[in-house]
Structure 1
Amino acid sequence: MNLEIDIEDPWPSGEWEDLAETAARALAQVAPELNNPRLCVSLIFTSDEEIHTLNREWRQRDKPTNVLSFPMLDREDLLELAPEGPPELLGDIALAHETCAREAAEKGVPLGHHAAHLIVHGLLHLAGHDHEISPADADAMEALETKALALMGIADPYGDRE
């Protein structure tokens, strides 16, 4: 999977590109459908103001949120995508700095760990996973997130799991 990354204010300078690449590689180990060289994802680190606008326009929710995902492929198409051929846009992800920073502080975790979790979460949404369908779907998605984050040395964001 190839990431096209854009970092806007107010995200502080840092290793956001490396973090995103590491998160994508870790996730591809636990969600092999994402380990396809044809896949492209656009990832923007942006502001609450921009996320608020996107959330209002595309989801009819008039508030900022931590992460938004905009899938471009159906899950069935993703699963059938051959590794050879032209690039395919899996979708777009946007992370809101102020909300991410506030949530990280509330959880007592580094911003980078929380951002990695949200990148993994967003990528799973692009791959057709949805935690809002049923408790079983939520558990399955959370398990994939936890496994990918563990590969990065990041603790389970949902609490202790065996």
Structure 2
Amino acid sequence: MTTLVDCLIEDTRWREAGLEPLAERAAQATLAHLGLGAEGFEISLLAADDARIADLNAQFRGKPGATNVLSWPAEDLAAEAEGAAPALPEPGPADDPEGLGDIALAYETCAREAAEAGRSLADHATHLVVHGLLHLLGHDHMRDGDAALMEAREVEILAILGVANPYEETGATCPG
């Protein structure tokens, strides 16, 4: 089986938390839910600490401080019409999969958020990988209609993975 998620573990606490298999499972489920086969795609996942994510957040978004998840799509797949589904990417061949982009997670922020919400770190990290991958696939939460579509897809995918609806439990809004 081809690996969909190429993980770079900078903070070993992510390895101890089992991020690599968790991320692979979350990414596989996300693509399958959207009718895409994982064989022709690849994503990169940086598993870092808050300091590294704070640097990236400042560099790429002009925002100081760490955030839970960052994403950099390889291609803009966003729909023009609010609430419309984004375009689906074309897979690459098995020996040269199409790169969808990069996701980065901040350990301390994710662990704190999980504890505050009374959720396991594994469930929260699963949610953030799904969320980040949906961003790579053209989803966003800047407009109300887009946010509703993205949140609904997250909840559906998380249910498939056996993860409770994070929005129902906490009344939270989309991460990031």
| Residue number in structure 1 paired with 2:111 | 101
Identify which range, 60-69 or 21-30, moves more after superposition: 21-30
* TM-score (norm: length of structure 2): 0.82
Q: Distance in 1 between matches of 2:38 and 2:162?
A: 24
Distance in 2 (alpha carbons) for counterparts of 1:113 and 1:56: 27
* DSSP 3-state at the match of 2:168: coil
For 1:79, the equivalent position in structure 2 comes to 88
The alignment's C-alpha RMSD in Å is: 2.0
1:97 partner amino acid:
Y
What secondary structure, in the 3-state scheme, does the structure 2 residue paired with 1:11 have?
helix
Unaligned runs of 5+ in 1: none
Q: Distance in 2 between matches of 1:91 and 1:80?
A: 12
Which residue is 1:157 aligned to? 166
- Residue 21 of structure 2 corresponds to 18
Residue 27 (1) aligns with residue 37 (2): no
Compute the displacement of 1:83 (Å).
Answer: 5.1
Aligned pair partner of 1:92 in 71, 85, 102: 102
**CA deviation profile, 1:109-156 (whole Å, cap 9, x unmatched):** 000000000000000000000011x11111110111111111111100
> Per the alignment, in what secondary structure is the counterpart of residue 79 of structure 1?
coil
Deviating more after overlay: 6-15 vs 39-48:
6-15
Contact 2:92–2:98 (8 Å) recurs in 1:
no
Relative to structure 1, is the Cα distance of residues 80 and 119 closer, same or farther in structure 2, using a 3 angstrom cutoff? closer
Q: How has the CA–CA distance of structure 1 residues 39 and 64 changed in structure 2, closer, same or farther, with 3 Å as cutoff? A: same
- Verify the 8 A CA contact 1:36 1:83 in the aligned structure 2: no
Provide the secondary structure at the position in 1 that maps to 2:11. Answer: coil
Paired residue type of 1:107? A
Residue 114 (structure 1) aligned with residue 124 (structure 2): yes
